[in-house]
Structure 1
Amino acid sequence: MIRNVTEHPVRLAKVRVVTAEVTHQLRSDARDNRVRILAVARAAFAADGLDVPIREIARRAQVGVATVYRHFPTKEALFAAAFAEAMATCSTIVEEGLAAADPWRGFCLVIEKLMAVHALDRGFSRAFTSRLPQAVDFFTQDRDRSLRLILELVRRAKETGELRSDLVLEDLVMALMANEGIRAESSELRAAASRRFAALMIQSFRANPVAEPLPPAVRLPLSAH
């Protein structure tokens, strides 16, 4: 049988196309697995703390333990990836507040935006306000840097006479912890409730409180769940 001189190149081209399609599908599946693992990890860390086993995260994400470790070699690496974006957002918010010409307005901006971020990511909020193991120093260092910048903003706002002089960092942490406890039927309602709570906190932090109109109230469940 005489083969056409173009037969081998054509077959090779087809093999390359099929290989590329399979590789693309594998990469897509890997991306999907990574996204699902991170989503499950955030929820697990929020509910059970950093002690939740990798095996349990794999089970909830419906992947093998080896798949989790292929993406995240250690639990600390998974923790870092799960909250990296939220931590970066918080840092940006604090820096924006410090850059404001009016320290009081900058302080208000930080409270409003930080509470919005924490309300929508309970896992991150719980991590931010918790005492974490030394193994997650990378997160603790970023968090502590943000807190130091907030303290500098607090100092400046006090000097304007707008912020009450007896406010301490623990008051802000307590407000964030209370904000994390907001329960609502949807993320939209949780965000709306957080805006109202932030407004209440800002009024209570002011040296001479002014009864300004609050954002609309949100109907919340009266029983814990």
Structure 2
Amino acid sequence: MNQEKKYLSSFARRISRKLSPYQKELLDQFLPLVLFNGENFENVLKNYTRAKFEIGFGNGDHILAQAIKNPKTLFIGCEPYLNGVTKVLDEIKNQGLKNILLYPDDARNALEIIEVGVLQTVYILFPDPWPKNKQKKRRVINKETLSMIHEKLCNTGELIIATDHKDYAQSILKDIEEIDLFKFNDENFDIYEQPEYWVKTKYETKALAGRSHYILLVKK
């Protein structure tokens, strides 16, 4: 990871609670076996029909549920929060999951490694809203990131976003309109209506900030 581009950080912390010896062991010994990198991704992808990418998987509720439900799909999960990474590592190890690769850092560096048109779906679920005006430049969803995602998606690729922060949702919709690279999956879809297939995360269940917004997009 020495050649990674330095993006303005979109995350505030790497660790919330001190890591246990077992968590440290997972990071030191098991993470290298499922670590996303360019070579590993190309070799593993050959065994799957499609690839999906999650930016900021938190405690892993969504990516784990999706990987178990869709064993023929490869999932790449990015998360700098190491407590969450160890939780997912533990589940991968205990359940013998083969279709998850993890990148414990900024997702934009991982996206740069992926070839154009490879991804079927990109998920960004409840990213840090950075609500203060001076913080907004740290939001992970902006025109630059949206353009990068568009490039990596296949022709029928989807971008699925959820946020419970109204101002962030409005900012995202404004950026989407201005770059004109995506269209809504369903023009009649209610932005406040949770999709039928949705996997509710622990964060969403707690409803920490407010009403959730669901932005379901398809590459133009």
TM-score scaled by length of structure 2? 0.25
More helix by share: 1
Greater RCO (CA < 8 Å, at least 6 residues apart): 2
Larger Rg: 1
More strand by share: 2
